[in-house]
Amino acid sequence: MSRELEGRVAAVTGAASGIGLASSEAMLAAGARVVMIDRDAAALARLRERHGDGVIPVVIDLLDAADCATLLPRVLDAAGRLDIFHANAGSYLGGDLVDLRSDAIDRMLHLNVNVVIKNVRDVLPHMIERGSGDIIVTSSLAAHYPTPWEPVYASSKWAIDCFVQTTRRQVFKHGIRVGAISPGPVVTALIADWPADKLKQARESGSLLEPVEVANVILFMLTRPRGMTIRDVVMLPTNFDL
- 5, 86, 91, 153: the catalytic one is 153
**Residue 4: DSSP 8-state:** T
Could you give the angle at the alpha carbon of 129 between the alpha carbons of 123 and 130, nearest 5°? 95
Give Cα 210 to chain centroid, integer Å. Answer: 15
Task: Please give the full DSSP string across 29-70, using - where no structure is assigned.
Answer: HTT-EEEEEES-HHHHHHHHHHHGGGEEEEE--TTSHHHHTT
How far apart (Å, rounded) are the C-alpha atoms in residues 8 and 80? Answer: 11
Please say if 92 is a catalytic residue: no
Phi, psi dihedral angles at 13 (to 5 degrees) = -90, 150
Active site residues: 153
